[in-house]
Amino acid sequence: MWRWFRANLGYRILSILLALGLWMYVVEDQNPIVEQVLSVPLETRALPGGLVISDRPATVKVRLEGRQGQVQDLSSRDVRAFVELNDARTGENVVPVQATVPKGVDIVSISPERVTVSVDKVTEKQVPVTVTVDGKPASGYRLLDPVLKPSQVIVTGPHKSLDQIDRAFVEVTVEGVKENYLEKLPLRVGSGKEDNKALEWVNVKPDTVEVFIPVVQELPVKQVPVQVDVQGTPADGYRVAGVTFEPRTVKVSGPQEVLDTLESLTTKPVDVNGATADVVGETELVLPAGVNAGTLPPVKVVIQITANP
């Protein structure tokens, strides 16, 4: 038996080598080694406290090599490209780019091999929040002044970037609205210049603002005369000689059907009972239901009291 095995050993070894060679040929033919280039986001790591990135490349190109079955399915999510910034200082820092890849895949090259990362000191400042309102409400409605919460925010970031920022802002559209506008919107930051572009490397706290814009119906307006309601009787031997007052007319608004029947507005009663001298004072107007006069000053009244002849 042993003699037979020794006699066939060479054939056995040759068979194994041929099988191995055939297997390698099939693997190489069916799943060859290929290359692929991916554009990968560039990360930053280990930046010292008190510093912030002010500029860096967004991506780098990583050339990979490996078996076709593995490499062809890779995407930029499978590769991490990064720079270590342990020794970074303010200003420009030229640092090598590193990358990690899945097992079985090799890195052929990274382009560029070194990148410039600009670093600045972290600063913060408070800026006002503004809103730009586009569009018009529905016919017969108007907008009141917007209310913003908060009205100011804190922005942090590179000193040079913050020098360009004087406000945080949002833009809203109210075309055709009939009801109050209320939304919570993300803030952008910029300057008073026309571009109003959001700046990179800057953080806003809080990063949203609540925008409330009251929408009110525009009612018809009418100018009506004022009448003073004089009540009571002066003392015996005296009489009311005249009444002067200001304002003589007021502007009111309300539904058209209400205004059509409104001829004048009357004040609250002014009492002259038992008076022996002029009655001077202030009183208020009595508004019918549905009529609005806004914020009116009181009616100033002088009721002249004279002795009977």
pLDDT by residue for the chain (309 residues), tens digit each? 555 445 555 555 655 665 555 555 444 556 688 999 999 999 999 999 999 999 999 999 999 999 998 999 999 999 999 999 999 999 999 999 999 999 999 999 999 999 999 999 999 999 999 999 999 999 888 999 999 999 999 999 998 888 889 999 999 999 999 999 999 999 999 875 544 444 778 899 999 999 999 998 888 889 999 999 999 999 999 999 999 999 999 999 888 889 999 999 999 999 999 999 999 999 999 999 889 887 788 999 999 999 998
Query: Do 2 and 39 share a domain, yes or no?
Result: no
From residue 227, how far is each of 242, 264, 272, 279, 283 by CA, in Å?
13, 7, 16, 16, 11
Query: Do 208 and 255 share a domain, yes or no?
Result: no
- CATH of residue 237: 2.170.120.40
Query: Do 40 and 87 share a domain, yes or no?
Result: yes
Query: Do 135 and 55 share a domain, yes or no?
Result: no
Query: Do 260 and 295 share a domain, yes or no?
Result: yes
Which residues are within 8 A (CB) of 20 and not within 5 positions of it... i.e. 6 or more apart?
none
Question: What's at 92, amino acid-wise?
Answer: E
Q: Which of 92, 112, 132 is the last residue of a domain?
A: 112
Query: Do 236 and 297 share a domain, yes or no?
Result: yes
Phi, psi of 145 (to 5 degrees): -60, 135
pLDDT at res. 10: 57
Which residues are within 8 A (CB) of 186 and not within 5 positions of it... i.e. 6 or more apart?
170, 207, 208
Distance in angstroms (rounded) separating the CA atoms of residues 188 and 199? 8
Query: Do 6 and 26 share a domain, yes or no?
Result: yes
Pinpoint the alpha helices (H) of 142-193. Answer: 159-163
Q: Which of 82, 112, 142 is the last residue of a domain?
A: 112
Distance in angstroms (rounded) separating the CA atoms of residues 23 and 19? 6
Q: Which of 112, 146, 174 is the last residue of a domain?
A: 112
Q: Select from 153, 155, 167 the least CA-distant residue to 196.
A: 167
Tokens of 274: 């038992």
- CATH of residue 42: 2.170.120.30
CA angle 278, 280, 281 (to 5 degrees): 160
Strand partners for 167? 190
Query: Do 301 and 238 share a domain, yes or no?
Result: yes
Total domains present in the chain: 4
Query: Do 5 and 63 share a domain, yes or no?
Result: no
Gap between the terminal Cα atoms of the chain: 162
Which residues are within 8 A (CB) of 1 and not within 5 positions of it... i.e. 6 or more apart?
none
Query: Do 22 and 44 share a domain, yes or no?
Result: no
Query: Do 213 and 227 share a domain, yes or no?
Result: no
Distance in angstroms (rounded) separating the CA atoms of residues 170 and 8? 86
- What is the span of the domain harbouring residue 235? 221-307
pTM of the model: 0.57
Query: Do 25 and 75 share a domain, yes or no?
Result: no
Distance in angstroms (rounded) separating the CA atoms of residues 238 and 275? 8
